[in-house]
Amino acid sequence: MFPVLLISAFNLATPQTYLLPRSSRPVWSFSRPFNHLSNMSQHTLSLADSGKTIALKRGDTITIQLAENPTTGYRWSEPSLENDSVSLQRSQFVGPQSNAPGAGGQRLLTLKAEKLGKTTLSLKHWRDWEGDRSVIERFTLTLQVAD
């Protein structure tokens, strides 16, 4: 037998180790500490979701994946948000999986629903030094945060 760590839902501050018979060992795991489990959810969106209204609960996270190829000069702008009901947590470019010259990657934007309210998120796929005349795509979402 091997020791198995069990966490009591009633006393998370002092986990205890118990030896259990092989047949009674639980077959599950948590990716986060037990006391952080909740009804929060993760939403993954793409260009196909542009123009939609997304209902969120406070604490929900959204990841937006958009194709981007910075070698062409075209990049997605930083998101424009009307208010602070949703906040930008991270914006990063993930390079191509191919070693081919000029291959594109993905712009990943992570946002979190912070406060009750409604906001519009707007992005432009453009060459920022050329201004609005260079916009080749737009991405917009209406985000409704509720309890």
Question: Is the domain of 115 the same as that of 64?
Answer: yes
Looking at the structure, do residues 30 and 47 belong to the same domain, yes or no?
A: no
Q: Does one domain contain both 51 and 65?
A: yes
pTM value is 0.69
Q: Both 65 and 132 in a single domain? A: yes
Q: CA 144 → CA 40, 85, 87, distances in Å?
A: 15, 9, 13
pLDDT tens for each residue of 79-118: 999 999 999 999 999 999 888 888 999 999 999 999 999 9
Clarify whether residues 14 and 62 are in a common domain.
no
d(CA 63, CA 90): 9
21 vs 118: which has the higher pLDDT? 118
Residues 102 and 106: their CA atoms lie apart, in Å, by: 13
Q: How far is CA 119 from the centre of its chain?
A: 17
- CATH code, 138: 2.60.40.2020
Q: Are residues 70 and 93 in the same domain?
A: yes
Q: Which domain holds residue 18?
A: 4-36
Shared domain check, 13 and 72: no
